[in-house]
Structure 1
Amino acid sequence: MKSRYSAYALGLSDYVLSTWHASTRPQQLDLSQEKDQGKWIGLTVKQHKPQGDKAEVEFVARYKAKVGPASRLHENSRFVFEGGRWFYVDGDLFDN
């Protein structure tokens, strides 16, 4: 989870895609313009629920756009462990 957040913050599209499960991964992702729009300013992992080869992570990521107020992304993400690696599958957003 933390490495995916860091990859988003640094605009590392290839890393984000490589940690996304093939069953839900988009064909492409371009984060190169994210830095021009604003920046990620923090991550709080609220809960981690491991369940064998699956896990859920509730987190809040904070983002500051260049114009306007800061915003938050509050999600409960699902991960699966395959081939010795964790992969993001999908998540549910909380209403803020």
Structure 2
Amino acid sequence: MTPKTDLSCPCGSHLTLEQCCGRYHQGELAPTPEALMRSRYVAFVLGRSDYLLATWHPSTRPAELAPDPDAEWKSLSIVSAEPPLDTIGYVHFRAFFYERGRVQKGWHVLEEASHFVKEQQRWWYIDGTPSLTRLKPRRNDPCLCGSGRKLKVCCGE
């Protein structure tokens, strides 16, 4: 695996943020449900609640969405991204993060099967079926950020 640099897109594409998800944050429309999901993950990483709300379908969008300062998003893994069926798309992903809060401190994985719809030539996030699991990686396990290094020399506590 190629090590990430500070300019790498957090979605794991190995492109720069500008070449990848950053362009969607600047207004270019995501061409597929997977591209939209990746850009939404990056918005979580960067604390871009405005983008998350702007890409959430009006029928299911919350009134507001506050960033979680205790969640440190580390990596994204696409489990499956079905080719969109005309105006409906699904993406199953896992997002690994470290929670710095007092109660939930530690490593977690958010797994979700997300549902997307295409209206007026634009993909929208509708909803998902999430599950949250607390992880207990060991010091010598591969780091959950995807660097390929051991946890103890990378993102270890």
Q: Is TM-score (shorter-chain normalized) higher than 0.5?
A: yes
Q: Which letter does structure 2 place at the counterpart of 1:48?
A: A
In structure 2, what is the equivalent of residue 44 of structure 1?
77
CA contact (8 A) 2:116 2:127 kept: yes
1:66 shift after superposition: 2.1
Give the match's secondary structure for 2:65: coil
In structure 1, what is the equivalent of residue 93 of structure 2?
59
CA contact (8 A) 2:109 2:132 kept: no
1:93 shift after superposition: 2.2
Moved segments of 4+, more than 6 Å: none
Please list every run of 5 or more consecutive structure 1 residues that lacks an aligned counterpart in the other structure: none
CA contact (8 A) 2:110 2:132 kept: no
Q: Which letter does structure 2 place at the counterpart of 1:45?
A: I
Q: Write the deviation string for residues 31-66 of structure 1: whole angstroms up to 9, x where unpaired.
A: 1xx23x131000011111221111000000011012
In structure 2, what is the equivalent of residue 28 of structure 1?
64
Instruction: Tell me, in whole angstroms, the C-alpha distance in 2 between the residues paired with 1:47 and 1:21.
Output: 22
Q: Which letter does structure 1 place at the counterpart of 2:58?
A: A
Q: Normalising by structure 1, what TM-score? A: 0.88
Q: Which letter does structure 2 place at the counterpart of 1:86?
A: W
Give the match's secondary structure for 2:39: helix
In structure 2, what is the equivalent of residue 13 of structure 1?
49
Which structure has the highest strand share of the two? Answer: 1
Question: How many pairs align?
Answer: 93
Partner of residue 82 from structure 1, selected from 103, 109, 119: 119
Q: Which letter does structure 2 place at the counterpart of 1:17?
A: L
CA contact (8 A) 2:96 2:107 kept: yes
Q: Which letter does structure 1 place at the counterpart of 2:46?
A: L
Report sequence identity in percent: 39
Q: Which letter does structure 1 place at the counterpart of 2:121?
A: G
**Larger CA Rg, structure 1 vs 2:** 2
1:72 shift after superposition: 0.4
